[in-house]
Structure 1
Amino acid sequence: MDKNQVKEGKGLATVAYLTIIGVLIAFFMNQEKRNDFTYFHIRQSLGLWLTYFVLGYVVSGFDSWMLTYSFWIFFIVLFLFGILGAVSGRLNKIPLLGDFFQKIFKSLGN
């Protein structure tokens, strides 16, 4: 991946982490240019958002402020990790689940 492609894809890659709607916006806006850097971050972000919603549903069933705060801190750190990777132009995989996200969403961008 060349530096020009990374430079062009930084904006949409960052947008993908902002909200679940941002993932959709980045995906559809990237359809005509087909930037691999952006697709990498779209896959990471989509996996992160889906995991957030599934685990959030499970955590909401417990009445524990420690569990809730731990959940929030965990996901804030992961989202910041992804955003900083997108802004800096690196292909940082999300810790623990990044390889899995790339594998299950590999059809996005092909």
Structure 2
Amino acid sequence: MTPKVQSILSYIGILWLVAYFGGKEERNDLSRYHLKQGLGLLVASLIFNILVVILLTLIPSLATILSYSGIIFLILMILGIIAAANEAKKPLPVIGKLFEGKFEFIDK
């Protein structure tokens, strides 16, 4: 698996595992960067979804507003895939800078 393919797959949820385990021997700096950004996006979206479920349990009238909030993570995923396809080290808007120094296990 090429580093470019790893970078693209790292933004697609469960395929992050395929990108991580599938190309360890061909990993370069760009693919490591996008693996960190993709994992950060996955973690952020999981935490956000847990918070949405809690909020909907407490305040069911927010269902219409919160049902569209998942589109934000879809847009972030698409922006990450575009950056990976262009082979650019560009952080995700809003949350990307949070994950640049994290997830050291990816560097090994």
Q: Provide the TM-score with structure 2 as the length reference.
A: 0.84
- 1:31-50 correspondence runs (5 A): 31-50=24-43
Q: Distance in 2 between matches of 1:99 and 1:30?
A: 25
- CA RMSD, aligned part only? 1.4
Runs (5+) with no aligned partner, structure 2: none
Hey, what does 1:73 align to over in structure 2?
71
AA matched with 2:25: E
Number of equivalenced pairs: 101
Contact map agreement 1:30 1:38 (CA 8 A) in 2 = no
Q: Distance in 2 between matches of 1:106 and 1:80?
A: 24
Q: Secondary structure at the match of 2:100?
A: helix
Deviation of the 1:24 alpha carbon: 1.1
Q: Provide the TM-score with structure 1 as the length reference.
A: 0.82
Hey, what does 2:84 align to over in structure 1?
86
Runs (5+) with no aligned partner, structure 1: 1-7
AA matched with 1:11: V
Deviation of the 1:55 alpha carbon: 0.7
Deviation of the 1:25 alpha carbon: 1.0
Instruction: Find the structure with the greater CA-based Rg.
Output: 2
- 1:99 has 2:71 as partner: no
Q: Secondary structure at the match of 1:26?
A: helix
